[in-house]
Amino acid sequence: MASFDVIFLGGGPAGYVGAIRAAQLGLNTAVVEREALGGTCVIWGCIPAKALLEAASLATRVAKGAEFGVTVGEVKLDYGVAMKRSRAVSTQNSKGVEFLFKKNKITWIRGTGTITGANAVTVKTQDGKEEKHDAKKGIVICTGSRVKGLPQVGLELNKTTVISSDEALVLEKAPKSIAIVGAGAVGCEFADVFNAFGSAVTLIDVAPAILPLEDQECSAELAKAFKKRKIDVVTGAKISNVKIGKNSVSMSLDAGGAKRDLTVDVVLVAAGRAPNVENVGLEKAGVKLTERGFVKINERMETSAKGIYAIGDVAGPPMLAHKGSREGVIVAEVIAGKHFHPLNYGNVPNATYCHPEVASIGLTEQQCKEKKLDYKVGKFPFSANGRARTSGETEGFVKIIRDAKYGEILGAHIIGAHATEMIHELAVARENEYTVEEVDLAIHAHPTLSEAVAEAALDSMGKLIHA
């Protein structure tokens, strides 16, 4: 039994960032984590997936080498090697978090934690022993989320022919054919990876567009780019008649009347994640859930039970690492009694790392219409951008939606190479309430892809220069 000021249940991007901030604020901090530090982000999500996407990007670029006067020999693709590299990167990052814990004198309690009292956490360690720990100032639930199957259409995860992103990240080879069910960020990224590694990819979503939460124009542009790369995109599709064989899965698709049968080696289910709310002792502690099954919190990250907080995926969407990390910072500041800035959930950037990349912040044009806002749109294509031409990455555009009267940036959407890096200019602008005018007035270096951002801002004012 040890006594701490605060115990974080989970060492993912919400918990570990919160723990570091808490320690920096002078709190005696512990993190309960049964796996390696870093959580889904570092072990089963962001980091290894991006390492694989980098491999995919390299494969695509090498294939275009001749155009640039760089001819390489025979190109061999080996998913297994790419996978091992991604695991190494993942481990490296996890060790990095371990180092940060040591540096900040944070205690890592290895095991599975359960809330057993107002200030008490019981941890079951790997050898089956139970330890009781005391959290004087607060317990933070940051147990994250997990992959889930689609049993309602007969796609229960079996880890061989019906897999999730968890298994996809450790496959030894790319399957000959793969159907990816769910065309959100995860689905689109794996479609990109397996396509680059030679799989025949069918990307399926029940929604009428891929990346359904993004601006429709970005979704359409990405679908166009995917189709060009021979990814079979089936949207508005209902799945039925699923038959799971030993080495293959067959199903029927009905996309608005267009019916077809599909047989693939592997199905990857990427249709969302489930919050880890079980076996944490929530009910006994009096922690209430939302209708959608997430832990209910307020802007101070407090749950319905005094002294118990929740952050990250388990505390509700958007289920993004950077949203969880910010909640971690806030919960640390709240528990330490410091001033904190409430999280503006309308200003969390979205990023999908397929090629071309898609990134956005704020409202989509559909949402502006639904809200009946008076807005103007500025758009600039990368095909008109010098830097994009030099690298041969001219797919995509920057789209900025501004308030017609005051110039407030209501939403910004970028699809194109390095979109996920470029979006932050607009995140800073929105956070500081700069209008399109300030974005234009900031001088953008030439030649850069970011010039397209300034041009889109100009276009929204009807003052486009390079088009």
Partner 1 sequence: MATKVVMEALSPTMEEGRLVKWLKNEGDAVKSGEPIAEVETDKAVMELVARADGVLRKRVLGEGTAAPVGQLVGVIAGKDENIDALLQGAGGGGAPAQAAPAQAAPAQQQQGGGAKPAEQVIARAQETAGASSVPRSADQAQGEASMPPQQKAAGAPPQSPGPGQPAGSGRGAAPAGNGGRARSSPLARRLASERGIDLGGMQGSGPGGRIVKRDIEAAATAAPAAARQAAPVRPRSDADFEDVPLTQIRKTIARRLSESIGPIPTFYLTAEFDLGRASELRDAMLEMGDEYKVSFNDIVLKATATALAQHPEVNAHWLGDKIRYFNRVHLGMAVATDDGLIVPVIFDADQKRMSEISAEAKALAKKARERKLKPEEYTGSTFSVSNLGMFGIDQFTAIINPPEAGILAIGAVEDKPVVVGDDLEVRKKMRVTMSCDHRVVDGAVGARFLQTLRRMLENPLMLVF
CB of 339 to partner 1, least distance (A): 10
**Nearer residue to partner 1 within complex by CB, 63 or 428:** 428
CA separation, residue 107 to residues 20, 93, 104 (Å): 11, 18, 9
CB of 29 to partner 1, least distance (A): 23
CB of 299 to partner 1, least distance (A): 12
Chain centroid offset of residue 121 CA: 30
Q: Which one, of 225, 185, 243, lies nearest residue 397 by Cα?
A: 225
Q: Are 129 and 109 in contact (CB under 8 A)?
A: no
CB of 336 to partner 1, least distance (A): 14
Strand partners, 133: 2, 121
CB of 46 to partner 1, least distance (A): 28
Q: Are 413 and 218 in contact (CB under 8 A)?
A: yes
Q: What is the DSSP string of 261-307?
A: EEEESEEEE-S-EEE--TTS-HHHHT--B-TTSSBP--TT-B-SSTT
**Nearer residue to partner 1 within complex by CB, 232 or 403:** 403
Catalytically annotated residue among 341, 355, 418, 446: 446
Binding site for partner 1 (CB under 8 A): 341, 402-408, 432-438, 441, 461-463
Per the annotation, the verdict on 446 as an active-site residue is yes
Q: Are 333 and 339 in contact (CB under 8 A)?
A: yes
**Nearer residue to partner 1 within complex by CB, 99 or 406:** 406
**Nearer residue to partner 1 within complex by CB, 345 or 406:** 406
**Nearer residue to partner 1 within complex by CB, 143 or 460:** 460
Q: d(Cα 91, Cα 106) in Å, to the nearest integer?
A: 19
Q: d(Cα 184, Cα 22) in Å, to the nearest integer?
A: 33
CB of 322 to partner 1, least distance (A): 19
CB of 436 to partner 1, least distance (A): 6
CB of 425 to partner 1, least distance (A): 15
CA separation, residue 440 to residues 398, 406, 410, 455 (Å): 14, 15, 16, 7
Which residues contact residue 28 at a Cβ distance below 8 angstroms, ignoring those fewer than 6 apart? 3, 4, 5, 6
Give the count of beta carbons closer than 10 Å to the beta carbon of residue 66. Answer: 10
Which residues contact residue 400 at a Cβ distance below 8 angstroms, ignoring those fewer than 6 apart? 377, 378, 379, 409, 411, 412, 413, 426, 436, 439, 453, 456, 457, 459, 460
**Nearer residue to partner 1 within complex by CB, 404 or 467:** 404
Q: Are 381 and 397 in contact (CB under 8 A)?
A: yes
Q: Which one, of 180, 173, 110, 145, lies nearest residue 278 by Cα?
A: 145
**Nearer residue to partner 1 within complex by CB, 328 or 407:** 407
CB of 384 to partner 1, least distance (A): 20
CA separation, residue 249 to residues 123, 158, 241, 271, 332 (Å): 40, 12, 10, 17, 47
Q: Are 273 and 148 in contact (CB under 8 A)?
A: yes
CA separation, residue 450 to residues 94, 162, 402, 407, 423 (Å): 32, 41, 18, 20, 9
Q: Which one, of 377, 399, 333, 350, lies nearest residue 184 by Cα?
A: 350
Active site members: 446
